[in-house]
Amino acid sequence: MSKNISLENLLNKNFNEIKYKDLVSLTNLSDDESSIFFEYISKFSLLEILEIINKLVQINQQELYLEYESIFKKFLSYPNDKIKISCIEGLIESEDRKLIKIFVETMLEGKSIELRSKAAKALVGFSVMAFEKKLIISDSKLIFDSLYRIISNISEPNSLRMNALESISIFNHDSIDEYILSAWSSDDFYLKKSSIVCMGLSGDTKWTNYVVKSLSHEDSKIRYEASNSLGIIGTENELFHLEKLLEDEDLDVQLSTIISVQTIGGDKALKLIEKSLISTEPLVVEQSKLSIQIIKEEQNLDLVVTPEMAQNLYGSSDIQPGIDLEGYDPLEINFDEINTSFSQSNDFGTGITEEAEELGLDRGDPFDIDLLPEDLFDYDEE
């Protein structure tokens, strides 16, 4: 029996007796306690289990100080795709590298497209960690190769390929550019929207002109993503392109544009946002005030921290960290090594082990395509 009194009390309740405070009390369970909780709610119906897991995900997203990671990891082994999808959503922010293989396996071999797509999207956080060199080399290569395998396979559904493309775009490797450009050139709304997300995630100014062109798209969702991406890759030179979106007919576009202008920062950005203070929309005024405050705080910090101080604090290099993939061929993944069943794979330690470094993946290029189609995403989904 668990030493957690709140958990013990919960174990005596039927589904209809479970209250919000009972779910809140499940934060930071140990692995053993999560196993006890797993056995407890496994007795409920599928819909009841899904409702509980979904509620935990919702609480986790709203109350950042609460943590249910051990529960979500435990239920990744539950034999239902909807529950697995919810658990992956709950683990989106996790930095536990043991999840990489599970997400990769799910993306490549999951039963439903929805589940595979969710796993592909969940890899974006680990792609960021790889780009920032916070992962061992074998993990970084596994992520890149697996995502590349999806985006280069035209028989895969577009929804899966685009989620994989967004996750792999973090690497900003030349081999990915043709897929991003092909999606941007497509008449398909979903492909175009996703490609603009990819351009921002790449962090590369080479996509600036494409993103700027998308700011005037007739669909507000495209303008929204273009505004977000320009906030990431744009400079003060592009601020005037964002000015007209500060009065966009769509509220979400207005709000995202204020944040993008704030992200670019500087005196010009400050003057632009000040114009939104007279908006009749309360949310716009509220966001404008917050963004102005953030810009001013950053400007004050710039005055306090001199370039010499920054060099002493952070080093003299101004080169953005990344993974050197020049001349890199995707690995041939040995699925016998990574295809451990969920039910047997519950070791979620966070240490980097010698075994992980000795993953033993053979180099190769399983994606040797002699001739790519003119439109890499031009095909009918089944």
The residue extents of the domains of the chain are: 1-94, 95-173+329-382, 204-304
Q: Exposure of 218 by Cβ count < 10 A (0-12 exposed, 13-18 middle, 19+ buried)? A: exposed
Residues in the chain, overall count? 382
Which CATH code, of 3.40.50.2020, 3.40.50.720, 1.10.10.10, 1.25.10.10, is assigned to 204-304? 1.25.10.10
Do residues 247 and 223 touch, judged by C-beta distance below 8 A?
A: no
Q: Among 10-14, 162-166, 332-336, which stretch is predicted with the lowest mean pLDDT?
A: 332-336
Q: Among 146-150, 235-239, 349-353, which stretch is predicted with the lowest mean pLDDT?
A: 349-353
Per-residue confidence (pLDDT) for residue 311, from 0 to 100: 57
Banded pLDDT at 182 (limits 50, 70, 90): very high
Q: Minimal CA–CA distance to 172: which of 243, 233, 261? A: 233
Name the CA dihedral angle for 197, 202, 208, 212, rounded to a multiple of 10 degrees: 10
Q: Among 105-109, 296-300, 314-318, which stretch is predicted with the lowest mean pLDDT?
A: 314-318
Per-residue confidence (pLDDT) for residue 81, from 0 to 100: 96
Residue by residue, DSSP assigns 200-261 as: HHHT-GGGHHHHHHHTT-SSHHHHHHHHHHHHHH--GGGHHHHHGGGG-SSHHHHHHHHHHH
Percent of the chain with pLDDT over 90: 74
Per-residue confidence (pLDDT) for residue 289, from 0 to 100: 96
Per-residue confidence (pLDDT) for residue 5, from 0 to 100: 77
Per-residue confidence (pLDDT) for residue 324, from 0 to 100: 47
Dist. CA 230–CA 241, nearest whole Å? 9
Tokens matching residue 294:
């953030």
Which residues fall within 8 angstroms of residue 307, CB to CB, at 6 or more apart? none
Tokens matching residue 104:
């990769």
- Asked whether residue 330 carries a pLDDT value surpassing 60, the answer given is no
Per-residue confidence (pLDDT) for residue 127, from 0 to 100: 97
Banded pLDDT at 356 (limits 50, 70, 90): very low
- Asked whether residue 379 carries a pLDDT value surpassing 60, the answer given is no
pLDDT in tens, 40-54: 999 999 999 999 999
Q: Minimal CA–CA distance to 57: which of 94, 107, 30? A: 94
| Average pLDDT of the segment spanning 114-121 | 97
Q: What is the DSSP letter of 362?
A: E
CA distance from start to end of the chain: 50
Dist. CA 36–CA 49, nearest whole Å? 14
Banded pLDDT at 84 (limits 50, 70, 90): very high
Dist. CA 313–CA 80, nearest whole Å? 49
pLDDT in tens, 217-252: 999 999 999 999 999 999 999 999 999 999 999 999
Do residues 288 and 277 touch, judged by C-beta distance below 8 A?
A: yes
Which residues fall within 8 angstroms of residue 153, CB to CB, at 6 or more apart? 161
- Asked whether residue 362 carries a pLDDT value surpassing 60, the answer given is no
The CA-based angle 344-346-350, given to 5 degrees, is 140
Q: Among 79-93, 118-132, 363-377, which stretch is predicted with the lowest mean pLDDT?
A: 363-377
Q: What is the pTM of this model?
A: 0.77
| Average pLDDT of the segment spanning 338-342 | 41
Banded pLDDT at 335 (limits 50, 70, 90): very low
Q: Among 22-36, 130-144, 336-350, which stretch is predicted with the lowest mean pLDDT?
A: 336-350
Tokens matching residue 303:
């005055």
Per-residue confidence (pLDDT) for residue 312, from 0 to 100: 54
